[in-house]
Amino acid sequence: MQAGVINWHSFVGGLDEVLRRAITRESVVAAIPESVSATFQPTFAMITPAIAIRAFAERMKFAAVLWFAALWLTFCYVPLTHMVRSGLGA
């Protein structure tokens, strides 16, 4: 991947960090250990929709709540996380 080049990997990303293969004890991004960031991301992905669901949980069917959580994860969390973690031009 090259910085400033728009191609398939610009939107989807590569397989460099699948199953956290690229994370080592020495890997640091913006002065934060990458292992800390990799632990924070799933926690944030679970807590954020839980806060939103708390406002309307009793007023909706459980299936609708699950759909909301799945759609939020897919269309809000995943693209934003990709933009944050992908770096320049990735």
Tell me whether residue 55 is in a domain: yes
- pLDDT, residue 14, reads 67
- Domain of residue 28: give its range: 8-85
Tell me whether residue 45 is in a domain: yes
Helix (H) or strand (E) holding 63: helix 62-72
| Main-chain dihedrals φ then ψ at residue 8, nearest 5 degrees | -55, -40
Residue 11 has pLDDT above 50, yes or no: yes
pLDDT: which is higher, 88 or 64: 64
Residue 22 has pLDDT above 90, yes or no: no
pLDDT: which is higher, 27 or 50: 50
Nearest to 76 by CA among 34, 32, 44, 54: 44
Tally the residues of the chain: 90
Tell me whether residue 37 is in a domain: yes
Tell me whether residue 13 is in a domain: yes
pLDDT, average across residues 59-80: 90
- pLDDT, residue 90, reads 46
Give how many domains the chain has, as a whole number.
1
